[in-house]
Amino acid sequence: MPSNDPTTVEKYFFRIPGSDTCLRIGGGARFEYVGAQVPNKSLDPSGFLARARITIDSRTATDWGLLRAYFRTDIGRQSGNTYFGSPAFTGGAYAFGFGGGTGSPGEFPGFGGQDTSGGRLLTLVSVSAAFVQFGGLVAGRLPSFFDAYQGDDNFFDLTESDTLTQALSFTLPFGNGFSTTLSIEDPRERQQNPIAGFTPGPIGPFPGGIGGINPVSPVPGFSSVYPFAASPFAAPALAPEGIIYTQRESIPDVVGALRVEQGWGTAQLSGAYHRIETSGSTVLNLNPANGGGVVANPLVPTVAGGYGTVHGNAYAFLGAVKINLPMIAAADHLWLQAAYSKGNLSYMNSGFPTRYTGTNLSLGDAIFSTYDAVVGPSGKATLTPAFSALAVYVHYWTPTIRQGLFGGLEHVSYAGSIKAAAGFAAGAACPDCVGTALVGGVPYNPYSPYYTGGTEYNVGTNLIWSPVRDLDIGAELFYVRNQLAHQEYDINRGSGKLIKAEDALFYRLRVDRSF
């Protein structure tokens, strides 16, 4: 949240004539270029971004404390790859497509001559802040109070929670730099990863009760056919092979934080509660059954209209510390942070590389599944546990040249029963694929790419030159490695190829001016 430092008002605000309100109008402009060396050849290896920002900050002193209203909007033009990924902009932006052919809701009229497949040329509009502050009460759109490190010292997102949300919060200061915050926040902003589900069957000639997808025709084991990853509602669209588990917004997230800020630095402990609940497990066009018709899912409760629900109680914890290091250089500092979540991966990592798919961490060779929960053969939701950690050090070589060194990791794991069900699903999908064997008379494949789990590692560095105030010219190099829990099919190279790790290298140039 923008600073409340009273000296800022004295320096940069002006008083509205005839009013006791002070106002500051600001903004900025940014250019970025991103290059990527990734296994996925369907994506562009480079991309451009131009962004404009406008901010308005009004403050009034009252007998009750500071009364403040703050607004910030970003408008940008983006092309090429999708690795810009800042939750404060592209992750929370409304995208207007400019494509040829028939348009769709939200698109401007198309015109030819440009490759716009997959939204590769977009105009983005984002309200990245809009809140009212009255003393310790803050209400509106702003960064989640769960978050600590928010990517200020690097360009690409590390393994941190960095989420804009709608919140109603109250902060109580204790003195000596200590404060505590209770915040009620919008759960929809945290539904960045889907809930997945199995179709238990029986369907057609395949056995049931094992959690298999059981498609009508066997498909190559390396094909990414289940679950279908993309969804605008943070839920996998499994039709026609299965059921749709769409998350719904039932009750707000509850966030608590304890924070201290003193001369040596800052520290924060956070906790969050998040409700997992589907808006309906709708059975859609399941595969033909023997004798005709389709087979419904007997393990999902139903009501009139075909809707049922599954639910769970997710939670997360975070600890972070920022240590100032003036003994090395005047503005040097070190960030250390760790987080654990169960049932909502965004509290562990909300940024890199994308969102709203079931394969957020995939780089192109492997399927690195990212699901908040999985509805297994029992029909109940099994929450996904995960943890992350990061370290960021910033050193000022001179007052105008600084360098960041940073690294992070995150680990996602799935229950043994879920992994077993995925193996049976892969075996049923392709009995003749490499590795498929009979287990209890049922095809099973240990190389299923779904619900593998694993660890992502990333490390990088940047160098930034600030020749004048509020102007940054910099470059960043970023390396990512996915280490999977077991071998799986290589979806990039095809049938019979196995993989257990994948790598990618990214680089980014930035010119940023704020005022």
Which domain does 52 fall in, by range? 1-143
Q: Are residues 472 and 388 in the same domain?
A: yes
Residue 103 maps to a domain: yes
Rounded CA-CA distance 355/95 in Å is 14
- Dihedral angle sign, alpha carbons of residues 117, 83, 488, 376: negative
Q: Are residues 97 and 197 in the same domain?
A: no
SS3 329: coil
> To 5 degrees, how large is the angle CA 17–CA 23–CA 27?
135
User: Which of 88, 117, 143 marks a domain boundary?
Assistant: 143
Q: What confidence category does residue 4 fall into, taking pLDDT thresholds of 50, 70 and 90?
A: low
**Residue 225: per-residue pLDDT:** 30
SS3 428: helix
Q: Are residues 32 and 120 in the same domain?
A: yes
Residue 216 maps to a domain: yes
Rounded CA-CA distance 280/205 in Å is 28
Residue 178 maps to a domain: no
**Residue 447: per-residue pLDDT:** 84
Q: Which of 354-363, 384-393, 449-458, 462-471 has the lowest mean pLDDT?
A: 354-363
Rounded CA-CA distance 361/449 in Å is 13
**Tokens found for residue 67:** 């009364």
Q: Name the residue with tokens 């403050």.
A: 59
Q: Name the residue with tokens 């169960």.
A: 342
> To 5 degrees, how large is the angle CA 303–CA 304–CA 307?
50
Give the pLDDT mean for 289-308: 47
Give phi and psi for 449, each to the nearest 5: -80, 0
Q: What is the pLDDT of residues 301-338, one digit of tens each?
A: 443 333 456 789 999 999 999 999 999 999 999 999 99
H helices of 316-470, in order, are: 416-429
Q: Is the pLDDT of residue 210 over 60?
A: no
Q: Are residues 113 and 211 in the same domain?
A: no
Residue 174 maps to a domain: no
Rounded CA-CA distance 96/77 in Å is 10
Rounded CA-CA distance 64/484 in Å is 54
Q: What percent of the chain has pLDDT over 90?
A: 43
Residue 171 maps to a domain: no
Q: Which of 114-118, 170-174, 310-314 has the lowest mean pLDDT?
A: 114-118
Q: What is the pLDDT of residues 472-505, one digit of tens each?
A: 999 999 999 989 888 887 766 665 678 888 888 9
Q: What confidence category does residue 54 fall into, taking pLDDT thresholds of 50, 70 and 90?
A: very high
> Any bridge partners for residue 26, and if so which?
55
- Name the most confidently modeled range: 218-227, 241-250, 334-343, 352-361: 334-343
Q: With DSSP H G I counted as helix, E B as strand and the rest as coil, what are the percentages for the chain, rounded to 5?
A: 5, 50, 45
SS3 90: helix
* Helices then strands, each counted (H, E), the chain: 2, 24
Rounded CA-CA distance 392/407 in Å is 7
- Name the most confidently modeled range: 74-78, 109-113, 334-338, 455-459: 334-338
Q: Are residues 225 and 292 in the same domain?
A: yes
Q: Are residues 476 and 368 in the same domain?
A: yes
Give the pLDDT mean for 411-430: 79
Rounded CA-CA distance 199/309 in Å is 15
Residue 154 maps to a domain: no
Q: What is the pLDDT of residues 74-106, one digit of tens each?
A: 998 888 866 665 433 444 444 444 333 333 333
- Residue 387 carries which side chain, given as an amino acid letter? F
Of residues 14, 44, 39, the one with CA closest to residue 26: 14
- Name the most confidently modeled range: 283-292, 380-389, 414-423: 380-389
**Residue 211: per-residue pLDDT:** 28
> Any bridge partners for residue 439, and if so which?
442
The total number of structural domains in the chain stands at 2
SS3 419: helix
Q: Enter the DSSP assignment of 289.
A: P
Q: Are residues 237 and 129 in the same domain?
A: no
**Residue 30: per-residue pLDDT:** 96
Q: What is the pLDDT of residues 228-257, one digit of tens each?
A: 322 222 233 333 333 445 677 889 999 999
Q: Are residues 432 and 360 in the same domain?
A: yes
Residue 88 maps to a domain: yes
